[in-house]
Amino acid sequence: MPKYLFVKQLITDRLRDMAEGEALPTMAGLQVDYGVSLGTVNRAIRELDTEGLVDVRQGSGIYATGYQRTLQIAICFPYDVLSPEAGAYPRLLLGGLGHRESALRDVTCRHYFHAGSGLHWHDKYDLLKQDIRAHMVDAVIGIGMYSPQLGDLHVPVVGLHNLPHVTSRVLLDYVDLVRQSVRLLAARGCRRLAYVGSHHDQLPAEDDSTYTVATEHEDARRAFLAEVKRLGLETAPPWIQGVHDQGGKTVTKTQAAGERAIEQMAIAAGLAPDGIVSTDDHLSHGICRALQRAGLAVGRDIQLASHANSGDSALDPHTVHLLEFDPDEVAHALLQTARDLAAGHQDVPPFTHIKAKVADTCPPHTQTP
């Protein structure tokens, strides 16, 4: 790290304990304190002056302004957020983070993802660790990151999944999503329901980094079965289709998994479900394609209730019942949690749950055949 940045950080730490108007040592005094050249001290002070942390008065001295130091929050994605295979959600979430950052005067986001640059994730991760060691990052927001290495970063980490190695978690409430979906389809006249969602053949060991995420998927499937039973509806084993989550998930792979799920249901023959619950919008896209090939119209022959993201137009809101998570609400929870942790607040909750809302454009009541 350049010497002036190191000196700047040392002076910043010093300013935390100084009252507004309190004088720092002279440039020469700071040079002696830190054992660097006068030019290095001068550059560090110039940057602190520009950021409003000190007030340099010509011929008088250097004074603390009492201004709160900007907290540096790292935003980490382990994949290319601009790739079409990442889907729209990363861009929607980044937009929400930018909007929320602008409303917080004491927060600046630092981005660690390659975004089409060709720089591999491990290079960005190494840069992140270097910046943490240099006190240039106060907290980390990890999106789509499952690596236990996150627990070794020595700053607070906020994750978008229930991972054991993060400090706080912002969770999309898929159990509530599934329950809402079943109730919505029942209200639309559906009596025989199918389910398509992420699934593991067996839960990994409890010390595995993906264990808690796998249990989330299993909890959602169990919630579907419980809600179907509670409402007196029907389902059948072939209609419970688990999409194997083996990593490397892309839009194309997920859509293909949705198509396979419908093919495995064999819904065109014999007794068929009249409603489907899907926990992923890209799965739903594949479901719609497979139903169309089978000669079934979504919204007329079969109802589909699907996870979706506000601001994404991947699914037709006039035929699919959309239960939307708002990326802006998710961004607010992530950034506020990371900010509070970085600021040293002791009352930060370990979990924040985000619930889906039925879209206003949800199709009207239509009795299925």
- Residue 292 sits in the same domain as residue 245: yes
Q: What is the pLDDT of residue 302?
A: 94
Higher per-residue pLDDT: 248 or 198: 198
SS (H, E, C) 143-178: CCCCCHHHHHCCCCEEECCCCCCCCEEEEECHHHHH
Over the chain, what is the mean pLDDT? 86
Q: β-strands 61-64, 54-57: how paired?
A: antiparallel
Domain containing residue 132: CATH number: 3.40.50.2300
Can you name the residues that pair with 278 across neighbouring β-strands?
196, 306
Tokens of 175: 């159990």
Residues 212, 162: contact at Cβ < 8 Å?
yes
pLDDT digit string, tens, across residues 87-136: 899 999 999 999 999 888 789 999 888 766 555 667 788 888 888 888 88
Rounded CA gap, 140 and 154, in Å?
A: 10
pLDDT digit string, tens, across residues 130-146: 888 888 899 999 887 66
Rounded CA gap, 191 and 131, in Å?
A: 56
Rounded CA gap, 114 and 5, in Å?
A: 24
Would residue 166 count as lying in a domain?
Answer: yes
What are the CA-CA distances from residue 350 to residues 152, 158, 163, 186, 340 (Å)?
18, 9, 11, 34, 12
- Residue 92 sits in the same domain as residue 17: no
Q: What is the pLDDT of residue 207?
A: 63
- Residue 150 sits in the same domain as residue 218: no
- Residue 167 sits in the same domain as residue 180: no
Rounded CA gap, 75 and 91, in Å?
A: 13
Rounded CA gap, 298 and 328, in Å?
A: 29
Rounded CA gap, 46 and 126, in Å?
A: 29
What sign for the dihedral angle of Cα 297, 299, 303, 308?
positive
Rounded CA gap, 166 and 149, in Å?
A: 10
Domain containing residue 45: CATH number: 1.10.10.10
Would residue 122 count as lying in a domain?
Answer: yes
- Residue 37 sits in the same domain as residue 134: no
Which of 145-149, 254-258, 271-275, 309-313 bottoms out in mean pLDDT, i.e. has the lowest? 145-149
Looking at this protein, which amino acid is placed at residue 31? Q
What residue numbers bound the domain in which 15 lies? 3-64
Domain edge (last residue) among 12, 39, 64: 64
- Residue 103 sits in the same domain as residue 147: yes
Q: What is the pLDDT of residue 368?
A: 39
* CA-closest candidate to residue 322, choices 339, 310, 338, 337: 310
Looking at the 3D structure of the chain, how many domains does it have? 3
SS percent in the chain: helix, strand, coil, step 5: 40, 20, 40
Which of 54-68, 201-215, 280-294 bottoms out in mean pLDDT, i.e. has the lowest? 201-215
* CA-closest candidate to residue 92, choices 258, 337, 334: 334
Sequence-ordered alpha helix ranges (H) in 238-280: 251-265
Which of 134-138, 154-158, 221-225 bottoms out in mean pLDDT, i.e. has the lowest? 134-138
- Residue 276 sits in the same domain as residue 206: yes
Q: What is the pLDDT of residue 118?
A: 56
The pLDDT-based confidence of 73 (bands split at 50, 70, 90) is: very high
The pLDDT-based confidence of 258 (bands split at 50, 70, 90) is: very high
Residues 107, 141: contact at Cβ < 8 Å?
no
Max alpha carbon distance in the chain (Å)? 91
Residue 312 has pLDDT above 60, yes or no: yes
How far is residue 253 CA from its own chain's centroid?
20
Q: What is the pLDDT of residue 369?
A: 34
Q: What is the pLDDT of residue 120?
A: 66
pLDDT digit string, tens, across residues 315-346: 988 899 999 999 999 999 999 999 999 888 88
